[in-house]
């Protein structure tokens, strides 16, 4: 099955940024979207916006660090719409800082959200995809998983892990399932605001103001991968601002 219309697509981290832009774009193109995020108010606002525009949407508050929440997201898709065609694992955090700051709790949090969150999505959706005989994983990584930068050792390591896990999943998936990694560059989101180190935060904010691109650039890349015919697997997409090096 090609195209986007009537596909059931679950998205984590859907309350803002890339997740929100992806949810809105896919719903506009006829997908039935099932959304999860940590912030209930923001998530409800996104779902309400889609519903008001005539889109098919369901949503549930959840935390990708909890396996049961991802299982609940997949179950919601199947109960509400009868199937799950695509899981977009977008939720991620980036409280980046120099290793010398020894913010070990932040390291743990990035591992739990950025790596384990993707694994929990795989654990929830893979059995459903196997039963259906079709399915598509879209995992959002980062150019930090391709090219390391100062203060991003742990964050970049988690995103490199997402790419490695996704490639392993692709090799094991067989000829019925698809796996796509999307690696964004600098995007106009609140990513910079999460940096606890003031100097790093200021540098990121300056770069964001200078050349960051909007989240819908990534949403369009995700849509491109999803809309391909079933025998076409777009394995990896890298989207950077033209000014980013």
Catalytic residues: 155
DSSP assignment of the chain equals --SSTT-EEEEESTTSHHHHHHHHHHHHTT-EEEEEES-HHHHHHHHHHHHHTT-EEEEEE--TTSHHHHHHHHHHHHHHHS---EEEE---------GGG--HHHHHHHIIIIIIHHHHHHHHHHHHHHHHT-EEEEEE--GGGTS--TT-HHHHHHHHHHHHHHHHHHHHHTTSEEEEEEEE-SBSSSGGGG--SHHHHHHHHHHHHHH-B-THHHHHHHHHHHTS-TT----EEEE--TT--
Left if phi > 0, otherwise alpha if psi is -120 to 50, otherwise beta: which for 126?
A: alpha
């Amino acid at each position: 099955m090609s195209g986007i219309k009537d596909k059931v697509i679950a998205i984590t981290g859907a309350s803002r940024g890339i997740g929100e832009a992806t949810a809105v774009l896919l719903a506009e193109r006829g997908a039935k979207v099932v959304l999860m995020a940590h912030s209930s108010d923001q998530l409800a606002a996104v779902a309400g916006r889609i519903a008001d525009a005539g889109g098919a949407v369901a949503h549930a508050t959840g935390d990708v660090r909890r396996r049961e929440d991802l299982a609940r997201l997949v179950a919601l898709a199947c109960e509400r719409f009868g199937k799950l065609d695509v899981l977009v694992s977008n939720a991620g955090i980036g409280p980046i800082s120099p290793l010398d700051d020894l913010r070990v709790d932040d390291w743990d949090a990035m591992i739990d959200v950025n790596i384990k969150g993707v694994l929990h999505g795989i654990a929830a959706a893979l059995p459903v995809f196997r039963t259906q005989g079709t399915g598509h994983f879209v995992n959002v990584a980062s150019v930090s998983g391709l090219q390391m930068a100062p203060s991003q050792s742990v964050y970049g390591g988690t995103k490199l892990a997402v790419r490695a896990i996704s490639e392993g999943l692709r090799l094991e998936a067989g000829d019925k399932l698809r796996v796509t990694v999307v690696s964004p560059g600098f995007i106009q989101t609140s990513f910079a605001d999460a940096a606890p180190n003031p100097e790093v935060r200021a540098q990121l904010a300056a770069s964001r103001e200078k050349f960051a691109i909007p989240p819908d650039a990534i949403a369009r890349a995700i849509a491109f991968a999803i809309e391909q015919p079933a025998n076409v697997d777009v394995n990896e997409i890298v989207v950077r601002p033209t000014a980013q090096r």
